[in-house]
Amino acid sequence: MRLASDSFRLTGPGNTAILPRKERRPTGDRAAQGTPEGAKLGTGLELPLDQVLVGDCVALLRRLPPASVHAIFADPPYNLQLKGDLRRPNDSLVDGVDDAWDRFADLGAYDAFTCEWLAECRRVLRKDGTIWVIGSYHNVFRLGAALQDLGFWILNDVIWRKANPMPNFRGRRFTNAHETLIWAARGEESRYRFNYAAMKSLNEELQMRSDWFIPLCTGPERLRDATGAKLHPTQKPEALLHRVILSCTAPGDVVLDPFLGTGTTAAVARRLGRRFIGLERDERYANAAQARIDAVVPVAEGGLATTPAKREQPRIPFGALVERGLVPAGTVLTDRARRWQAVVAPDGSLRCGGAQGSIHQVGAAVQEAATCNGWAFWHLEVPGGRLRVLDELRTEALAQR
């Protein structure tokens, strides 16, 4: 198999290779910065961006530069420990997960494998990066313990509640209708990215909760082989990866999947203008993933911007509104309930009774509170008696820049 990049030649155990791919240009913010196809990261190695690498995930991870990826999504073997065939009440065979890659000698072997690949993931993750690991009741508790033992800092556990779960045919347990995703930062002090405003917008302006109701992968999205059978037994829905990637990355960021399977992570990353690295040891899955990725049409660069968080918006001091006459000196501001009135000084400070200071300080003082967002607390009365919150005037001032 031909290597796509001679500068990142993988040799040794595992019969590793890089699948041929179509030439692609960077998208999003990295395109504007002119990031090369194989970004040098000061290690002497090049990062194999937008490529599917075939081979053992641990061996491939060891060849990646440290602190080189922004986010990781991992869907590792679940170690389902199935014993015998699973059949429906009509005696038909259930198409479960019985592949060799999901079999381990015992829990000790599974734990050793888990710690090995997670340790390498932590090495290649940037200090501000995060990792998502998905599992079921068979393995998720062991994954969580391994993450904490290795120094990751767990941020959330997210429940993926399946809209159409497989029923419990034997009737001896509850229907297993969910899987758990663990979201973790590289460490306790990590300044990780969370696109709060984008997640809120995706959820009709309500805070995104940690229980996600998303259907299983079905219909035309499900990849099938020549006989019409499922190509991969645990293919994840693109809707799930859309939410994961959108929540914690920006356009141009690098997303790594050490268990790529049929390429859901890479396909969604490419569509959303992110770079990707996919690792997969089964060449059949890797070829299917590459064909799927090549068919993806990325969102146009102008359509990648999502709702920015308040802290990401340009900053403007209240004094700038005073200077421009949007809130002239001498203006009387009030809270929404008209309990307090404050006079605006020429320097942008407020005076209310014995309190004087910034819009935030005076707002906190009158409420006897520790803090206050003065932009949301203070209002200006306009003709007709209507109140306008200062934040609206700030938006107008920013638009005039």
- Among 6-20, 65-79, 227-241, 366-380, whose mean pLDDT is lowest? 6-20
The b-or-e profile of 179-216 (16+ CB within 10 A means b, else e) is: bbbbbbbbeeebebbbbbbbbeebeeeeebeeebebeb
- Return the DSSP state at 224: B
287-307: average pLDDT: 87
CA distance 220 to 237: 11
Please report how the helices 283-294 and 264-271 are oriented relative to each other, as an axis angle in degrees rounded to 10: 20
212-241: average pLDDT: 84
Residue type, 184: A
Which residue did the predictor score with more confidence, 70 or 228? Answer: 70
pLDDT mean across residues, the chain: 82
Q: What percent of the chain has pLDDT over 90?
A: 57
The three-state (H, E, C) secondary structure of 228-253, written as one string: CCECCCCCCCHHHHHHHHHHHCCCCC
31-41 pLDDT tens trace: 333 333 444 44
What is the value of pTM for the model shown? Answer: 0.70
Point out which residues pair with 74 in neighbouring strands: 133
The 10 Å Cβ neighbour count of residue 304 is 17
The 10 Å Cβ neighbour count of residue 141 is 12
Residue 365 has pLDDT above 90, yes or no: yes
21-31: average pLDDT: 38
- Among 224-228, 247-251, 317-321, whose mean pLDDT is lowest? 224-228
pLDDT score, position 170: 67
CA distance 230 to 383: 66
Angle, alpha carbons 198-201-204 (nearest 5°): 155
Which residue did the predictor score with more confidence, 157 or 35? Answer: 157
pLDDT score, position 144: 97
CA distance 119 to 219: 36
Q: Are 38 and 5 in contact (CB under 8 A)?
A: yes
CA distance 377 to 362: 10
Residue 390 has pLDDT above 60, yes or no: yes
Q: Measuring CA to CA, which residue among 220, 217, 247 is closest to residue 73? A: 247
77-100: average pLDDT: 54
257-285 pLDDT tens trace: 999 999 999 999 999 999 999 999 999 99
Which residue did the predictor score with more confidence, 105 or 134? Answer: 134
Q: Are 168 and 175 in contact (CB under 8 A)?
A: yes
Q: What are the CA-CA distances from residue 188 to residues 101, 115, 152, 215, 324 (Å)?
A: 32, 19, 7, 33, 43
- Among 58-67, 133-142, 299-308, whose mean pLDDT is lowest? 299-308
pLDDT score, position 361: 95
CA distance 282 to 15: 11
User: Which residue's structure tokens are 């299983």?
Assistant: 216
Q: Measuring CA to CA, which residue among 293, 272, 277, 271 is closest to residue 37? A: 277
CA distance 242 to 275: 14
The three-state (H, E, C) secondary structure of 293-343, written as one string: HHCCCCCCHHHCCCCCCHHHCCCCCHHHHHHCCCCCCCCEEEECCCCCEEE
Q: Which residues contact 69 (CB under 8 A, 6 or more apart)?
A: 124, 125, 126, 129, 254, 255, 256, 277
CA distance 23 to 34: 15
Label residue 50 by pLDDT band (50, 70, 90). Answer: very high
SS3 content of the chain, % helix, strand, coil (to 5): 30, 20, 50
Label residue 19 by pLDDT band (50, 70, 90). Answer: low
User: Which residue's structure tokens are 């890659």?
Assistant: 101
Q: What is the CA radius of gyration of the chain?
A: 26
pLDDT score, position 100: 62
What is the token pair recorded at 349?
């400070």
CA distance 200 to 312: 15
Pairing of strands 178-185, 153-162: antiparallel
Residue 343 has pLDDT above 90, yes or no: yes
